[in-house]
Amino acid sequence: MITTRHKSSYSNLLFLSLLILPFMQQNLQNLSYPINKEQKHTAIFFFFIVTSIIGYHVLSQSHPGSFFNIGFLPKILPSNIPIIKSGKNTKCDYSNGKWVYDETQPRIRYSENCPFLDPGFRCQQNGRKDLDYQKWRWQPKDCNLPRFEAKDFLERTRNRRIVFAGDSIGRNQWESLICMLSEGVSNRSAIFEENGNPITKHKGFLSIKFQEYNLTVQYYRVPYLVIIDRPPPNAPKQVYGVIRVDRLHWYSAKWVGSDVLVFSAGHWWNQDKTVKLGYYFQEGETVNMTMDVMEAFRRSMNTLKIWVMQNLEPGKTHVFFRSYSPIHYRDGEWNKGGYCNTSRKPESDYSKLEPEPRNNIIINEVVKEMNKKAMKMVKFINITYLTEFRKDGHPSRNREPGTPVDAPQDCSHWCLPGVPDTWNELIYTELSRTGFKKSPAM
């Protein structure tokens, strides 16, 4: 977006060029040696080229998100979203940058042989031939994203509990973190699911124990975070079920006392997965047949905010609200022929990036409200912009064994190793920055 300031800067530069041009023409005519018309035009042409280069450099430095920079599209998240600090006296917006091809990836992380990966995320084993999607590293614009150190993270979380709560994209991230942490453990057999359950998307609760560090990393499947219930008596016939925006899921009782709590929600908050399926929104004893989906999402986030403030110790639990993870269906929705299997590199055409999701604005407002009320350990983790580029990182048609040939492509979840690893690097960086200590938890 070209702001008034951009226009003013450009106008001043253009005015200066036009002001200098007559003097330049006169000086060319007064040279001691003859100059023909063609040479004169060539000199003027190069003058404009040099002026343009200087102008581009000046404006792109002073307005990095402007039309004059390669990334002219405004950042997906608004400027009032808090940024992550990289040191005591400096700030770095880790969400703003670009993807850089790096041959060392993913050797520094893990492989598909990690036993804690869902079959649907093992894209190589499911038939994907190229490996390039694993070799892109996120490079912030004005700083470097610290490398994930599994042993350091494990020491910091010794005797602690990390909880992921939300939709299946949250499970995607949960599995990524488990595999990233497993690289720092000397005895892999000492990592196990506490209830003997296989890692699968069909389970509502999974708990991985890192016995060597007495660390527990849990996942709770709660796509809406709030309760899904039967319709109340006398509800209209088209109401198949209700989403109770004022009542958090009963799993929430198990989140109390956790040391790190990561929320992910948004993918189920749309018309297709709510009202079109007959699920309407209930508040109190009343079913609201006309409530907008995003308004319902806002109210559910407010319910979550109240729960956090009433149930979590401000100085103990680090709470992260992860922003919306973009999907990349092209030429159709997920159930109408949409696909993403033709992409082999991150998006380079900024005009194809989607606008700011309303989900993010709502979540950010909730986080800011909590920060104002002394909940300083509640953070908004912006992964939307960096993830929007990665149309190449989905399972697409490389689905888990047993999936019908004509099944829709998966352009929502992510191959692992892959993009969610970077999300976890952001969380690791924030925990390290805020002094998440290595001292034993009480």
Furthest-apart CA atoms within the chain: distance in Å: 99
**How far apart (Å, rounded) are the C-alpha atoms in residues 442 and 351?**
51
What tokens appear for 324 in the block?
A: 């919306």
Pick the range with the lowest mean pLDDT from 161-170, 179-188, 302-311, 430-439.
430-439
Does the CA dihedral 326-329-333-339 come out positive or negative? negative
Q: Indicate the pLDDT class of residue 19, thresholds 50, 70 and 90.
A: very low
- Mind listing the pLDDT tens digit for each residue in 408-437? 999 999 999 999 999 999 999 999 988 887
Average pLDDT over every residue of 88-100:
79
Is-contact 364 380, C-beta < 8 A?
A: yes
Averaged pLDDT of the chain:
82
Residue 295 is which amino acid? E
pLDDT at residue 251, as a whole number: 97
**Chain Cα centroid distance, residue 352:** 17
Listing DSSP states for 19-66 in one string gives HHHHHHHHHHHT-SS---HHHHHHHHHHHHHHHHHHHHHHHHHH-TTS
Does the CA dihedral 185-135-70-323 come out positive or negative? negative
H helices present in 96-246, as ranges: 150-156, 168-182
pLDDT at residue 356, as a whole number: 84
Looking at per-residue pLDDT, the higher value among 439 and 87 belongs to: 439
What tokens appear for 403 in the block?
A: 């999936």
Average pLDDT over every residue of 34-63:
51
pLDDT at residue 5, as a whole number: 39
- Mind listing the pLDDT tens digit for each residue in 259-295? 999 999 888 999 999 999 999 999 999 999 999 999 9
3-state secondary structure of 308: helix
Looking at per-residue pLDDT, the higher value among 315 and 280 belongs to: 280
**How far apart (Å, rounded) are the C-alpha atoms in residues 184 and 181?**
6
CA torsion 401-265-384-123 (nearest 10°) is -10
Residue 291 is which amino acid? M
- With b for 16 or more beta-carbon neighbours within 10 A and e for fewer, the 267-297 pattern comes to bbbeeeebbeeebbbbbeeebbeebebeebb
Paired residues of 98 in beta bridges: 139
Is-contact 440 159, C-beta < 8 A?
A: yes
**How far apart (Å, rounded) are the C-alpha atoms in residues 328 and 106?**
23
What tokens appear for 119 in the block?
A: 């079959």
- Mind listing the pLDDT tens digit for each residue in 369-379? 999 887 889 99
Backbone φ and ψ for 268, nearest 5 degrees, come out as -95, -5
Q: Indicate the pLDDT class of residue 246, thresholds 50, 70 and 90.
A: very high
User: Regarding beta strands 226-229 and 97-101, do their DSSP bridges make them parallel or antiparallel, or are they unpaired?
Assistant: unpaired
H helices present in 94-167, as ranges: 150-156
Q: Indicate the pLDDT class of residue 10, thresholds 50, 70 and 90.
A: very low
Radius of gyration, alpha carbons of the chain: 26
- With b for 16 or more beta-carbon neighbours within 10 A and e for fewer, the 31-55 pattern comes to eeeeeeeeeeeeeeeebeeebeeeb
User: Regarding beta strands 318-322 and 286-288, do their DSSP bridges make them parallel or antiparallel, or are they unpaired?
Assistant: unpaired
Average pLDDT over every residue of 169-180:
97
4-29 and 37-62 helices, crossing angle to 10°: 160
- DSSP code, position 235: -
- Residue 57, pLDDT > 60, answer no
pLDDT at residue 300, as a whole number: 97
Pick the range with the lowest mean pLDDT from 107-121, 130-144, 213-227, 418-432.
107-121
Average pLDDT over every residue of 64-83:
37
Collect contacts of 197-203 with beta carbons under 8 A, ≥24 apart.
199/115, 199/116, 199/117, 199/118, 199/175, 200/118, 200/119, 201/118, 201/120, 201/168, 201/171
Is-contact 176 420, C-beta < 8 A?
A: yes
- Residue 441, pLDDT > 70, answer no
pLDDT at residue 49, as a whole number: 56
User: Is-cis flag, bond preceding 355, omega within 30?
Assistant: no
- DSSP code, position 3: -
Selection from 23, 28, 81 nearest residue 357 by Cα = 81
**How far apart (Å, rounded) are the C-alpha atoms in residues 332 and 391?**
15
**How far apart (Å, rounded) are the C-alpha atoms in residues 430 and 93?**
12
Paired residues of 140 in beta bridges: 97
**CB burial of residue 1 (10 Å; 0-12, 13-18, 19+):** exposed
Q: Indicate the pLDDT class of residue 11, thresholds 50, 70 and 90.
A: very low
Paired residues of 206 in beta bridges: 219
Q: Indicate the pLDDT class of residue 156, thresholds 50, 70 and 90.
A: very high
Q: Indicate the pLDDT class of residue 45, thresholds 50, 70 and 90.
A: low
Q: Any idea which residues carry the catalytic annotation?
A: 168, 410, 413
Is-contact 47 41, C-beta < 8 A?
A: no
Whole-structure pTM value: 0.79
